Structures are given as C-alpha cells and as structure tokens.
Chain A
C-alpha cells in the first residue's frame, strides 16, 4: 500500500467521497438524488415487489417461491420475535422486526452486487431512521405496558439495588438505555457497511493498479489483492446477514426490556 502510493502516486486510496457521489436529480434540494439514494429506492421497491410477488397467491401447499418467503418470515417470527418477546408481544411487534431485518439485509447486500457495489446503509440516514423507529417503539411499548412513570422508574431505578447506589446506577442506566441504544444501533450498522465498502474498494482498486497500471511481476500482488477482495466479498455477505440479524434482534431485545416489569 505504502509501496504502491510511493510508486509515482498513480494509486488513489478510496476515501469518504465514495459515499457522496454527485447528484443526479433535484440537486441542492432536500430531495436530492444521487447514485446511492437511487440504489436505496430501487432496492426498497424490489424488496416490496419480491415479497408481494412471492406471496401473491399463497397456497396451503406452498410452491418454491412461497416456501422461501415463508421460511424467511418464519425465521424472523420464531427465531427473533417469539424468542425475545414471547408469542403475544412477538406477534404484536413482528411487522416492525421483520421490516427492519429485511430492509437492513436488502440494503446491505447491494454492497456486493456488481454494478451497484455500495450499500446505502453506509450513509447514516437509513440506520438512523430505523434506529429512531426502534427507539420510539421501544419507549412507546414501555409506556403502554407499564404507564409513563412506572416505565421511567423501572428503566432508571432498577429493583433490588440499594437506594444509595442509585446515585451511580441511574445516570448510567439513563445513558445506556436512552442514548447508547439508538446510537449503537445506528453506528454499528453504518460503520460496518462503510468499512466493508472501503475494504472492497481498496482491494479491487489495488488489483486494478497492480495488474493494469504496473503489470509484469506486480501482477502477482494483484492476484493476492484480488483473492483478498474475493474473500472480503464473501465476508460481506455474512456481515450483511449478521447485521440484519443483530439490528432486528436488538430491536426486539430493547422492546422486551421496556415491556417487562422486572427490569
């Protein structure tokens, strides 16, 4: 890398400008569309159309497409919603958890799809919106389940702690519950996607530089960076699924912590 950079400055390491491509439409307005926003919109519509199409005419004995859709939704329902919240609350919050899981995954996976090659979750807006929705639902569910005062009390003054310890515990709980939760949801996803994209770009840009621009014996390095890029591509598939699972699971867990009386 340093070596490459010192070789006449022909190699440009990718930077954050990757995530702010030039506007395509409505430049300068709040509805500015750039390449990443278009990817985001198209993927969102594709996700919706895919599931509407797969479940367009559900049968008792499902076909291949319906089976896949049911398998995915059933995994989210049983593996996340019911596991964390039990059957009753699990059914109540299943739509939100399913939408978060599928949105995060669909918007993540564009990071390794050829010609798209970037995840729109690397722009903090999407993770932030989802984290805020999860945050609002978490607080709303807590207030609905316990009443406002009791909810705040159960979150900030956990039972079974000596009264004097509240001086220490309450500020920590306040920060961890009402600040750290949405922030960690947002930042975890954003930076996973951001760093994943930078790693891939770095690997493939280096491959391009070694093989095409330098050529000759340098191509061996190019082969190495290409293998690295390929490995990171596979890794990014795992990350896309894992981050979707984590985001959905934590959303369910936060709701559960709000709803349960004995925090």
Chain B
C-alpha cells in the first residue's frame, strides 16, 4: 500500500462524495452492461418472443383452417346425404305415381274391354233377336196367312192387306208377351 492511497482513502471517507475512480469504473461497468444487453441480449429476447408469438398464432391459424376444412367436409357430406334422401324420395314418389297410373290404365283397359264385350254381346243378341224376329215374322206371317186363307178363303191373297194384318197381329203378340221385354232392356 503506497502512502498516496492511504491518504486518498482517508480523504474520500465521505460516502456522499464519489472518488474519481469510483465514477469511472461505475460508468465503464454500466456502459458494458448496457451495450451488451442493448445489442446482444435483449434483441435475442425480443426475437424469440416474436417468433414464439408467431408460432402460436400460426398454430391457431392452422387449427382454424383444419376446423374450417372439417366443417366444409361435414356440410358437403350432409348435403350429399340430403340430396340422396331427396332423390330416393323422388324416385319412390315417381314409382308410386307410375304404379298408380299403370293400375289406373289397367283398370281402364279392363273396363273398356268389359264394356266392349258387353256391347258386342248386346249387339249380337240384338242382331240375333232381329234375325229371329224377321224370320219368325216371315214364317209366322206365312203360316198365319196360309192358315187364315184356308179358313176364310182366297180373299186374303191380296199381299198388301195380308201384310198389314200380320203386322198388327205380331204387334199385339209382342204387347201380350212379357217374355220379350227382358231381352230388350238388357
């Protein structure tokens, strides 16, 4: 220890008054710390915080995107399902309608056929009845005329009068015969 430093130590015993070396080393130390933190430490700290915030935001963004995709896929699937259901319902309705139509057509055809057969039968019966009536009329007329001529003589040979008599007779006969009615009404 040199005498000078002893003297200096004695003189700077007032703690309120900084020694020159005290100020200088304080300034040097503070400068070192400040610049090291300003240029080295804190930029790294800030960068890593930014990077982390970005990573977290990126993760959130990705999760949101995946969620959106999933939602979209679900919506698409549901839409397809709904379309399928609607299609099935439409086909079923169509088939029902078609079936009903076919049934109606078949009924209609059967009815038509039945009516046709009935009409044919009626026509045939009518024709046969007419034929029968004509032939009957002719025969009965002839027979009756013959019979009457034989009974009353030659006077009835006049054709015009004979025919009138026969017709009248037949009409009377028809009016008296109820058996002829059902055939006509059928």
A interface, CB within 8 angstroms of B: 16-17, 19-23, 26-34, 37, 40-41, 44-45, 47-48, 51-52, 55, 58-60, 62, 66, 69-70, 73-74, 94-96, 98-99, 102-103, 122-126, 128-130, 133, 187, 190-191, 194
Contacts and interface: CB of A to CB of B under 8 A. Distances in A.
Interface in B1-54: 1-2, 4-6, 8-9, 12-13, 15-30, 32-34, 36-38, 40-42, 44-45, 47-49, 51-52
Given A28-B2, A37-B21, A51 B26 contact: no
Contact of B45 (A55, A128, A191): A55
10 contacts: A22-B9, A31-B24, A31-B25, A40-B29, A60-B48, A60-B51, A69-B45, A98-B42, A124-B17, A125-B26
Given A28-B2, A73-B45, A124-B18, A41 B25 contact: yes
Closest 8 CB pairs of A and B: A125-B22, A58-B48, A125-B26, A44-B29, A32-B21, A48-B36, A129-B26, A126-B26
A55 B48 contact: yes
Interface residues of B, number: 42
Contacts of A29: 21
A17 B9 contact: yes
B2 A27 contact: yes
Contacts of A23: 1-2, 5, 8
B55 interface: yes
A40 B26 contact: yes
A124 B45 contact: no
A33 to B, nearest CB: 7
A129 B30 contact: yes
B26 A70 contact: no
A22 B1 contact: yes
Contacts of B52: 60
Given A17-B9, A58-B47, A128 B32 contact: no
A125 B48 contact: no
B23 A125 contact: yes
Contact of B41 (A26, A55, A187): A55
A95 B37 contact: yes
A47 B18 contact: no
Contacts of B8: 23, 27-28, 32
A126 B9 CA distance: 18
A123 B22 contact: yes
Contacts of A19: 15
Nearest to B11: A20
Contacts of A16: 13, 15
Contacts of A103: 29-30, 33
Contact of B48 (A31, A37, A52, A70): A70
A128 B37 contact: no
Nearest to A44: B29
Nearest to B47: A58
B12 to A, nearest CB: 6
Given A44-B33, A133-B30, 14 more contacts: A22-B6, A27-B2, A27-B5, A28-B8, A41-B29, A48-B33, A51-B37, A52-B36, A52-B40, A70-B48, A73-B45, A99-B37, A103-B30, A129-B27
A125 B5 contact: no
A60 B42 contact: no
Given A125-B26, A126-B29, A128-B26, A28 B5 contact: yes
Nearest to B36: A48
A133 B29 CA distance: 13
Nearest to B38: A95
B2 to A, nearest CB: 5
Contacts of B19: 20, 32, 123, 125
A102 B33 contact: yes
Interface string B138-172: 00000000000000000000000000000000000
Contacts of B28: 41
A190 B16 CA distance: 9
Nearest to A37: B25
Contact of A28 (B4, B23, B38, B40): B4
A22 B55 CA distance: 55
A98 B18 contact: no
